[in-house]
Amino acid sequence: DVLLDLGAGTGPLALRLKQASPEATVIGIDPDPVQLDRARAKARAAGLSMRFEQAFADALPLEDGTATGVVSSLVLHHL
C-alpha cells in the first residue's frame, strides 16, 4: 500500500499510519518546508522510514494511481 497524508504538517498522522502499517509506504505532503523538516526529524527519531514531500494537493509529486489510500486531518483543522 501507498498511503498519502495530505497537509501532513509536522507529521503526527503520517507517523501513526507508518507505525500501524510498517509495510506500507507512507508519504506526507505539505507545502510548508519548515513543517516538513520537523516531520522528517520526528520520523528519524522514531526510526521510521517514510517520505515527506513539499507540494500542494493539486500538484502531487506522484504519478496518477500511485496512492492506494489518502488521509487528511491537519489541513482540515486549519481551514
pLDDT tens digits along 27-37: 999 999 999 99
Greater confidence (10 vs 78) lies with: 10
Q: Grid cell 503520517 — which residue? A: 14
> Does residue 13 have a pLDDT over 80?
yes
> Does residue 23 have a pLDDT over 90?
yes
User: Alpha carbon of 37 to those of 2, 12, 30, 46, 66: distances in Å?
Assistant: 21, 13, 11, 14, 24
How far from each other are the two terminal CA atoms of the chain, in whole angstroms?
28
9 φψ region: left (φ > 0), alpha (ψ -120 to 50), beta (else): left
pTM: 0.91
